Homo-oligomer: A and B are copies of this chain.
Amino acid sequence: MKADLDHLMAARDLTAILVECSDHFSAARDYLTGGVSITQGKVIKKRAAPPILIVNPMETEEARKSGLHVYSYYDLGYADLLKEMKGDRDQATRAFWIKCLEAAGVPEGKVGIYGVGDHNVIIDIVARLGDQYPQYTFAGETGMTIFHEAFLTKDADELGRMRDIGVRVGKVLQATWDYIASHGARDQMVVKEDGSPLTVGAVKRFVRRTLLDHDLEDTDMIFAQGRDAGFPHSRGETPDAIKLGQSIVFDLFPRELGGGYHHDCTRTWCVGFAPDEVRQAYDQVMEAFDLSVEIIRPGMDAKAPQEAVQDYFEARGHKTSRSDPMTIEGYVHSLGHGLGMNVHERPLLSHLSTDKFQKGNIITIEPGLYYPERGFGVRIEDTFCINEQGELVSLTPFHKELVLPLKS
């Protein structure tokens, strides 16, 4: 939780956190600022002090919406530095980093660098800063970073917000179901009133528009049919017609419009009817889903439900990424992951995970079975929280019917 940050900084011996901003979404930036549309600048948090924001003068107005103290580049003398350095922007940029740290009350110490942007730029800046200003140590971090640790548990505000997003996503799923159902069929294809086929692209377009109606934005949904559905991360070919009796894996993980928290859920649909082998796989995936939901509780190793699901699938003759790490058939991925401002957070529900569940986690559970050469794939996914009572509660209010019947 956000309230843990100072303590997490102390554990890493960090004097300050510096989030370098760009026009890419950064969860670290939005976590510290509450979410502001700034496309360059820095957020600096000294330990035991509130963050400050340093932005381009054009973005001061936007930055002030955060309620944090805002400095513009000119407040901190960027123009003078540029003059002093005779127009050498790289030199001026580095000297300006130091001015910003000083403005945050950090004249020396270990500074953790976060944010999202161009690898080439940050590598160069940090290497040179370290040489030039030995009073600082500039540190990166991999694995369970300070933000991963803070994101592990959500406070009541965050949970409320994510619950609300789940309700809106449920409405988008229902609208999409109804949209497809309103079509007819011809030659084993779903068709529009004029007899032309309903394509994957048309459905995706419908979903994106419906997301916008609920102030959500698509982050590259999966709507993949038949053989495509057999590859967990294939995006679905947009000109393909939707066909009867094909498994469609529909994985939607939208974000609040303009950046913020996510929801993540997957349904598998067969329009008109479900072939036996798809139905059989579906029933097994649902059993795996239910048995995971059954066992998860605070304090448990996050790998435990994955191992239980792998046991379950292996006992039924499926390969898993534990029994055969190279397989592309069977159950080939993790059971789930933490979710928040990033689609993938901790805890990891992989059989290699060293994480443990705790109250305040928001996670996905998403078992699946994939048989691309047999032309199908199946996955079911809900988002869950582990509440104050230690119960696992679904945040995805939408049914899990496999067969989507056409109305006409």
Residue A343 is within 8 A (CB to CB) of chain B in the complex: yes
- Report the interface size for chain A: residues with CB under 8 A from the other chain: 66
If over half of A's interface residues share one DSSP class (helix, strand or loop), that class is named, otherwise mixed; here it is: mixed
Residue A263 is within 8 A (CB to CB) of chain B in the complex: no
Q: Which of A187-195, A232-240, A278-286 sits within the interface?
A: A232-240
Whether the Cβ atoms of A127 and B140 lie closer than 8 Å is: yes
A89-B143 in contact given A57-B328, A61-B231 (Cβ < 8 Å)? yes
Whether the Cβ atoms of B233 and A56 lie closer than 8 Å is: yes
Output the least CB separation between A99 and chain B (Å). Answer: 15
Residue A203 is within 8 A (CB to CB) of chain B in the complex: no
Whether the Cβ atoms of B220 and A37 lie closer than 8 Å is: yes
Residue of B nearest to A209 (CB): B209
Residue A3 is within 8 A (CB to CB) of chain B in the complex: no
Residue A115 is within 8 A (CB to CB) of chain B in the complex: yes
In the bound complex, residues from chain B placing their C-beta under 8 Å from that of A20 are 119
With A116-B119, A124-B142 already in contact, 18 other A-B pairs whose C-beta atoms are closer than 8 Å: A24-B116, A58-B231, A61-B233, A89-B143, A90-B143, A93-B142, A113-B119, A113-B123, A115-B119, A119-B122, A120-B141, A120-B145, A121-B140, A121-B145, A122-B123, A124-B140, A125-B142, A209-B209
In the bound complex, residues from chain B placing their C-beta under 8 Å from that of A127 are 127, 140
Residue of B nearest to A259 (CB): B220
In the bound complex, residues from chain B placing their C-beta under 8 Å from that of A11 are none
Residue of B nearest to A234 (CB): B61
**Complex formed: what's the CA distance from A116 to B119 in Å?**
6
Chain A residues in contact with chain B, CB under 8 A?
20, 22-25, 37, 39, 56-62, 74, 79, 82, 87, 89-90, 93, 112-127, 138-143, 145, 205, 208-209, 212-213, 219-220, 228, 231-235, 258, 325-326, 328, 332-333, 343, 352, 372
Whether the Cβ atoms of B93 and A121 lie closer than 8 Å is: no
In the bound complex, residues from chain B placing their C-beta under 8 Å from that of A120 are 112-114, 139-142, 145
A119-B114 in contact given A58-B333, A208-B212, A233-B39 (Cβ < 8 Å)? yes
From A138, A213, A232, residue with most partner B Cβ within 10 Å:
A232
Residue of B nearest to A121 (CB): B142
Output the least CB separation between A113 and chain B (Å). Answer: 5
**Complex formed: what's the CA distance from A82 to B321 in Å?**
14
**Complex formed: what's the CA distance from A74 to B116 in Å?**
28
In the bound complex, residues from chain B placing their C-beta under 8 Å from that of A220 are 37, 258
Whether the Cβ atoms of B113 and A116 lie closer than 8 Å is: no
A-B pairs, 3 with minimum CB distance? A123-B140, A124-B140, A79-B325
In the bound complex, residues from chain B placing their C-beta under 8 Å from that of A121 are 140-142, 145
Whether the Cβ atoms of B119 and A58 lie closer than 8 Å is: no
